Protein backbone atom coordinates (compact mmCIF):
# COMPACT_ATOMS: atom_id res chain seq x y z
CA UNK A 1 0.00 0.00 0.00
CA UNK A 2 1.42 3.39 -0.99
CA UNK A 3 1.17 6.04 1.71
CA UNK A 4 2.14 9.68 1.80
CA UNK A 5 2.49 12.62 4.13
CA UNK A 6 3.68 16.19 3.92
CA UNK A 7 6.13 17.86 6.27
CA UNK A 8 6.79 21.59 6.56
CA UNK A 9 10.45 22.54 6.25
CA UNK A 10 12.63 25.57 5.57
CA UNK A 11 12.78 24.31 1.97
CA UNK A 12 8.99 24.27 1.61
CA UNK A 13 6.49 21.49 2.05
CA UNK A 14 8.17 18.11 1.62
CA UNK A 15 6.21 15.20 0.15
CA UNK A 16 7.09 11.82 1.65
CA UNK A 17 5.94 8.66 -0.09
CA UNK A 18 6.44 5.16 1.16
CA UNK A 19 5.32 1.59 1.35
CA UNK A 20 4.32 -0.50 4.30
CA UNK A 21 3.81 -4.20 3.95
CA UNK A 22 0.30 -5.26 4.89
CA UNK A 23 0.11 -6.54 8.45
CA UNK A 24 3.56 -5.32 9.54
CA UNK A 25 4.33 -3.08 12.49
CA UNK A 26 7.73 -2.01 11.17
CA UNK A 27 8.58 1.46 9.92
CA UNK A 28 7.38 2.71 6.57
CA UNK A 29 9.93 2.20 3.79
CA UNK A 30 10.60 5.58 2.19
CA UNK A 31 10.33 5.53 -1.62
CA UNK A 32 10.40 9.27 -2.30
CA UNK A 33 11.10 12.56 -0.57
CA UNK A 34 10.53 15.50 -2.86
CA UNK A 35 10.49 19.28 -2.69
CA UNK A 36 7.98 21.73 -4.15
CA UNK A 37 8.79 22.50 -7.78
CA UNK A 38 11.42 19.77 -7.92
CA UNK A 39 12.28 18.34 -11.31
CA UNK A 40 10.70 14.87 -11.43
CA UNK A 41 8.93 15.28 -8.08
CA UNK A 42 6.42 12.69 -6.96
CA UNK A 43 2.77 13.65 -7.28
CA UNK A 44 0.04 12.20 -5.07
CA UNK A 45 -1.86 9.53 -7.01
CA UNK A 46 -5.39 8.19 -6.72
CA UNK A 47 -5.41 5.31 -4.26
CA UNK A 48 -2.54 6.61 -2.15
CA UNK A 49 -3.37 6.80 1.54
CA UNK A 50 -2.65 9.98 3.49
CA UNK A 51 -0.93 8.57 6.59
CA UNK A 52 1.08 11.18 8.49
CA UNK A 53 1.34 8.87 11.52
CA UNK A 54 3.26 6.32 9.43
CA UNK A 55 5.90 8.96 8.70
CA UNK A 56 6.11 10.41 12.23
CA UNK A 57 9.62 9.04 12.83
CA UNK A 58 10.97 10.37 9.55
CA UNK A 59 9.23 13.71 10.11
CA UNK A 60 10.82 14.00 13.56
CA UNK A 61 14.26 13.29 12.10
CA UNK A 62 13.74 15.91 9.40
CA UNK A 63 12.75 18.51 12.03
CA UNK A 64 15.87 17.70 14.07
CA UNK A 65 18.02 17.92 10.93
CA UNK A 66 16.66 21.34 10.00
CA UNK A 67 17.16 22.49 13.61
CA UNK A 68 20.83 21.46 13.34
CA UNK A 69 20.48 18.65 15.91
CA UNK A 70 20.68 15.60 13.61
CA UNK A 71 23.61 14.80 11.34
CA UNK A 72 22.67 11.31 10.11
CA UNK A 73 19.29 9.91 9.15
CA UNK A 74 18.10 6.47 10.22
CA UNK A 75 15.53 5.71 7.52
CA UNK A 76 14.41 2.48 5.89
CA UNK A 77 14.46 2.86 2.11
CA UNK A 78 11.98 1.07 -0.14
CA UNK A 79 13.38 -1.91 -2.07
CA UNK A 80 13.75 -1.88 -5.82
CA UNK A 81 14.44 1.81 -6.35
CA UNK A 82 16.67 2.59 -9.34
CA UNK A 83 18.99 0.51 -11.49
CA UNK A 84 21.98 -1.40 -10.12
CA UNK A 85 24.25 1.46 -11.20
CA UNK A 86 22.04 4.10 -9.57
CA UNK A 87 21.95 2.09 -6.33
CA UNK A 88 25.78 1.96 -6.32
CA UNK A 89 25.94 5.73 -6.78
CA UNK A 90 23.28 6.33 -4.12
CA UNK A 91 25.10 4.02 -1.68
CA UNK A 92 28.22 6.13 -2.23
CA UNK A 93 26.19 9.27 -1.45
CA UNK A 94 25.20 7.72 1.87
CA UNK A 95 28.88 7.61 2.86
CA UNK A 96 29.45 11.37 2.47
CA UNK A 97 29.50 12.76 6.02
CA UNK A 98 27.39 15.65 7.24
CA UNK A 99 29.16 18.96 6.71
CA UNK A 100 31.46 17.67 3.96
CA UNK A 101 31.32 17.79 0.20
CA UNK A 102 32.74 15.61 -2.56
CA UNK A 103 32.99 16.03 -6.31
CA UNK A 104 31.16 14.03 -8.92
CA UNK A 105 34.56 12.62 -9.93
CA UNK A 106 35.22 11.45 -6.38
CA UNK A 107 31.89 9.59 -6.34
CA UNK A 108 32.79 8.03 -9.72
CA UNK A 109 36.14 6.89 -8.29
CA UNK A 110 34.44 5.45 -5.18
CA UNK A 111 32.24 3.21 -7.33
CA UNK A 112 35.00 2.32 -9.81
CA UNK A 113 33.91 4.37 -12.84
CA UNK A 114 36.34 7.32 -13.09
CA UNK A 115 36.75 9.36 -16.26
CA UNK A 116 33.81 8.99 -18.62
CA UNK A 117 31.74 7.57 -15.75
CA UNK A 118 31.46 11.03 -14.17
CA UNK A 119 28.61 12.04 -16.48
CA UNK A 120 26.70 8.83 -15.69
CA UNK A 121 27.27 9.45 -11.98
CA UNK A 122 25.83 12.94 -12.37
CA UNK A 123 22.76 11.52 -14.09
CA UNK A 124 22.27 8.92 -11.35
CA UNK A 125 22.62 11.57 -8.65
CA UNK A 126 20.04 13.69 -10.48
CA UNK A 127 17.59 10.79 -10.27
CA UNK A 128 17.93 10.36 -6.50
CA UNK A 129 14.33 10.02 -5.30
CA UNK A 130 15.21 10.74 -1.66
CA UNK A 131 16.37 14.34 -1.46
CA UNK A 132 17.74 15.58 1.86
CA UNK A 133 17.90 12.13 3.54
CA UNK A 134 20.18 10.73 0.81
CA UNK A 135 22.68 13.60 0.61
CA UNK A 136 23.05 14.33 -3.09
CA UNK A 137 23.29 17.99 -2.09
CA UNK A 138 26.81 17.25 -0.78
CA UNK A 139 28.14 16.62 -4.30
CA UNK A 140 29.67 19.64 -6.00
CA UNK A 141 31.80 20.34 -9.06
CA UNK A 142 35.52 19.57 -9.02
CA UNK A 143 36.14 23.33 -9.05
CA UNK A 144 34.05 23.79 -5.90
CA UNK A 145 31.08 25.26 -7.78
CA UNK A 146 27.57 24.17 -7.02
CA UNK A 147 26.19 22.07 -9.84
CA UNK A 148 22.68 20.75 -10.51
CA UNK A 149 20.22 19.85 -7.81
CA UNK A 150 16.72 18.61 -8.57
CA UNK A 151 15.36 20.89 -5.84
CA UNK A 152 17.20 23.92 -7.26
CA UNK A 153 20.64 25.36 -6.55
CA UNK A 154 19.26 27.79 -3.93
CA UNK A 155 18.05 24.85 -1.85
CA UNK A 156 21.35 23.00 -2.33
CA UNK A 157 23.13 26.09 -1.06
CA UNK A 158 20.70 26.30 1.87
CA UNK A 159 21.32 22.66 2.86
CA UNK A 160 25.10 23.00 2.61
CA UNK A 161 24.92 26.22 4.66
CA UNK A 162 22.87 24.44 7.32
CA UNK A 163 25.53 21.72 7.51
CA UNK A 164 28.37 24.24 7.70
CA UNK A 165 29.84 22.97 4.42
CA UNK A 166 29.28 26.28 2.68
CA UNK A 167 28.93 29.86 3.80
CA UNK A 168 25.36 30.93 3.05
CA UNK A 169 25.27 34.14 1.01
- Among residues 127, 129, 131, 126, the alpha carbon closest in space to that of 31 is found at 129
Residue 136 annotated among the catalytic residues of the structure: yes
Give the ranges where 14-165 is alpha helix by DSSP (H): 56-66, 84-93, 104-110, 117-126, 153-162
Q: Which of 89, 133, 136, 166 is catalytic?
A: 136
Say if residues 43 and 95 touch (Cβ distance below 8 Å). Answer: no
Query: CA 152 to CA 169: how far, in whole Å?
Result: 15
CB atoms within 10 A of CB 74: 10
**Using alpha carbons only, what angle is made at residue 57 by residues 133 and 164, rounded to the nearest 5 degrees?**
40
Residues noted as catalytic: 136
Amino acid sequence: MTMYATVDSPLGELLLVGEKATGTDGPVALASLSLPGQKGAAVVQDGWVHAPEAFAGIAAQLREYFEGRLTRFDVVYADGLGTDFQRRVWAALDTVPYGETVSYGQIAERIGTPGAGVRAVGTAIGRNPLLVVRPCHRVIGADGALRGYAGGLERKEQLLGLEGALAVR
